[in-house]
Amino acid sequence: MLYAPLQLIIHLLCFAASFYALSAVRFERFCDVRKPVKIQVLLLLLSMGLGYLAAQLLLNVTVFNGL
């Protein structure tokens, strides 16, 4: 009963942390600067993937794994 909201909060926190961390990477060096929307979408997708992986790691190594 408490697991689902806690899981959602952990996923959102990991997504926010990964978005914050990836914002330090200068994607302009690797991508075309004339298409900033594509760079923003790339940043969003990378942060979603990294946030999901980090949240799954945290959830699997904590006590909530058995619930």
Residue 1 pLDDT: 64
pTM of the model: 0.80
Residue 21 zone, left/alpha/beta (φ > 0; ψ -120 to 50; rest): alpha
Q: What is the pLDDT along the chain (67 residues), one digit of tens a residue?
A: 677 888 899 999 999 999 999 888 887 787 877 878 888 888 899 999 999 999 999 988 886 666 5
Residue 54 pLDDT: 95
d(CA 22, CA 5): 26
Rg, the chain, Cα only: 15
